Chains A and B, each alone.
Chain A
């Protein structure tokens, strides 16, 4: 199968800075999906990237304490890569907790980790599932770093065409 025609060699980029983003998060997800369609990602990948942006921004909102959140999105055909970068304020203890969760996630198979988190996270309490969902469902690698003392960068990255998901569980009729 050929690579998507994404309009030449230069990466296609989107940058948004939002404050406050919560009430616009559905619109941002829809826009990202349309943006990815224009960048000629396949429909499954469009939806995966949109889901990842939604979940990562949703995680960023409480960390940012009302301050702006930045979204960078890059579709790079030459590097066969789609990259989501979320930048926001984040207190140190929340950064450390986030880093620990991502480290734990990277040590395990994506589905196994997702199922573990489903089991461990109380279903009545909000949060805790989004990163594992992005890692498995959107098939993106996630990493986190500190660009300064009070800010965090979360990046999710993967190929332009994700491999088809397969599992052995359940029935699909």
Chain B
């Protein structure tokens, strides 16, 4: 069982709007982000991009090889919210090669849109995006 005792020290990172939240959570296996709810506001990037930037900075600082992004509780993400994942990939692409890490998206079959969306993201972030079914 994961315990924060053995997890690397992590900053308290969490953002939320009325219908969704994104949180960096303790995980013995590395950095894990959990995104919950429904991302459907007009411009979620205002909230999500600074969160992505902070997690990215933490991943670079700690020399992470992978960040797990748990989408299993994400009901829906509009295209404006989807842009924050694109932003994340671009931040990794801009990092020095030795500092780059993979984004492992953990998805669920219960949210059918996730498969096609993550397929497209994996084409955009070749060698960066890994898609894992729940």
- On A, residues with C-beta under 8 Å from B are 22, 25-26, 29, 43-44, 46-48, 50-51, 54-55, 58, 111, 114-115, 118-119, 121, 123-127, 129-130, 133, 136-138, 165, 167-173
Given contacts A111-B123, A118-B124, contact A129 B38 (CB under 8 A): no
Q: Does B13 contact A (CB under 8 A)?
A: no
- Interface contact A55-B131, CB-CB below 8 Å: no
- Interface contact A46-B112, CB-CB below 8 Å: yes
Shortest CB-to-CB span from B90 to chain A, Å, is: 7
A51 CA to B5 CA, complexed, in Å:
41
Q: Does B79 contact A (CB under 8 A)?
A: yes
CB-defined contacts of B38 to chain A, threshold 8 Å: 26
How many pairs, one residue from A and one from B, have CB atoms within 8 Å of each other in the complex?
110
- On B, residues with C-beta under 8 Å from A are 19, 38, 40, 42-43, 45, 49, 76, 78-80, 82-84, 86-87, 90, 111-113, 115-117, 119-127, 129-132
Nearest first, the 5 closest Cβ-Cβ pairs linking A and B are A170-B122, A169-B123, A47-B112, A123-B87, A137-B116
- Interface contact B122-A171, CB-CB below 8 Å: yes
Of all chain A residues, the one with the shortest Cβ separation from B110 is A43
Q: Residue A123 contacts which of B83, B115, B117, B131 (CB distance < 8 angstroms)?
A: B83
Q: Residue A126 contacts which of B19, B43, B87, B127 (CB distance < 8 angstroms)?
A: B43
- Interface contact A48-B116, CB-CB below 8 Å: yes
Q: Provide 16 A-B residue pairs closer than 8 Å at the C-beta atoms, listed in order of the A residue.
A: A44-B112, A118-B86, A121-B83, A123-B45, A123-B49, A123-B84, A124-B49, A124-B83, A126-B42, A130-B79, A137-B116, A165-B116, A168-B123, A170-B130, A173-B131, A173-B132
- Interface contact A173-B130, CB-CB below 8 Å: yes
CB-defined contacts of B117 to chain A, threshold 8 Å: 133, 137
Q: Residue B126 contacts which of A119, A130, A169 (CB distance < 8 angstroms)?
A: A169
Shortest CB-to-CB span from B32 to chain A, Å, is: 16
- Interface contact A43-B130, CB-CB below 8 Å: no
